Structure 1
Amino acid sequence: MPTDPRMAAWRPFVETTARLQTLLDAELRAAVGMSMSDYNILLILHEASGNRLRMRDLADHMIFSTSRLSYQIDTMARKGWLCRERAPEDRRGNYAVLTDAGREAFAAAARIHADSVQRHFLDAISADDGKALRHIMIRLSEHLDA
């Protein structure tokens, strides 16, 4: 075991976050036929002004390549959860736009997801743990942005 407590935290961090993401994804897929990537895109569009966001901005939020996002958007559009619209201001860009069916799918998934997050994450940590973890994750995110 590493003597540096930061290194000792590394593997549990990687393994636990992967397990948690996999578990949340499996529960969403089983309940509503939606992946965590689908859910996160719907969440971002749900929170966006006018339920729309330029594709490049959505790719930045998702940390996806443009080709991966394009594939994901096409898959979700076939399900009727969103559509693409040309950006009238420059004709080169596109918007991803949440549809009524997407809002309904998101609402159903949000209930399932909230229950899963409660059982698998919130029930396992204290409020103080949450504050400390939030602080650490924000600091790590800022470090990665620098």
Structure 2
Amino acid sequence: MPDTGTARLPTRAELGVWRSFLRAHARLTRTLESELVTEQRLSLAAYDVLVQLEEAPERRLRMTELADAVLLSRSGVTRLVDRLEKAGLVTRERADGDGRGVVAVLTEQGLDRLREASGTHLAGIVRHFVAALDSDELKRLGETCERLSEGPPMPRLEFDADA
């Protein structure tokens, strides 16, 4: 099991791996974002919101749950949902039994838009990610990322993706 203590700094080699991971993530997300915007006129964040809503029970999530799922601040999700609502892709409703709670709901138009955009996005994942790895590398990377994602609970950070 790797040392999980915080008493040491990363080695030069470990820092190099970390930076490679960050560069790869940034390049892939920029490429996928660019393809979605160019071909579908939809941002990657908007696509992610539509996916999260499509996968949720009854295609609805509380705004706080949506913010956690898409890794945006509450204010960032509010602004993004505002834009998606104006486009007719999402509606907002009061949460059942909670006068203060608000849920975002995927509309039929939003579901259609998601299905259309999915062709571009999923083909991009294959082209730019899956095709770069053989099946053993893909399996190992999946296991590694799963292990990293199962770490101790992360503190809730309030950051704004639009900043």
Instruction: Compute the TM-score of the two structures, normalised by the length of structure 1.
Output: 0.93
Which residue of the partner structure matches residue 30 of structure 2?
A: 22
Which residue of the partner structure matches residue 75 of structure 1?
A: 83
The answer for unaligned runs of 5 or more in structure 1 is none
Cα RMSD after superposing both structures: 1.5
Write the deviation string for residues 74-131 of structure 1: whole angstroms up to 9, x where unpaired: 0111111101011131111111000011011000010111111111011110111111
Which residue of 60, 64, 67 maps to 2:68? 60
Q: Which runs of 4+ in 1 moved over 3 A?
A: 2-5
Which residue of the partner structure matches residue 85 of structure 1?
A: 93
Amino acid at match of 2:76: R
Correspondence 1:31 to 2:39? yes
% identity of equivalent residues: 37
Question: Does the residue aligned with 1:84 lie in a helix, a strand or coil?
Answer: strand
Take 2:135 and 2:89, find their aligned partners in 1: how far apart are those partners? 35
Which residue of the partner structure matches residue 137 of structure 1?
A: 145
Aligned-pair CA distance for 1:7: 2.3
Question: Does the residue aligned with 1:145 lie in a helix, a strand or coil?
Answer: coil
Instruction: Compute the TM-score of the two structures, normalised by the length of structure 2.
Output: 0.84
Take 1:120 and 1:24, find their aligned partners in 2: how far apart are those partners? 8
Take 1:81 and 1:45, find their aligned partners in 2: how far apart are those partners? 11
Take 2:54 and 2:75, find their aligned partners in 1: how far apart are those partners? 22
- Work out the number of aligned pairs and report it: 145
Which residue of the partner structure matches residue 113 of structure 1?
A: 121
Amino acid at match of 1:55: M
Question: Does the residue aligned with 2:96 lie in a helix, a strand or coil?
Answer: coil
Take 1:131 and 1:89, find their aligned partners in 2: how far apart are those partners? 44
Question: Does the residue aligned with 2:151 lie in a helix, a strand or coil?
Answer: helix
Query: Which structure features the higher share of helix residues?
Result: 1
Take 1:92 and 1:73, find their aligned partners in 2: how far apart are those partners? 17
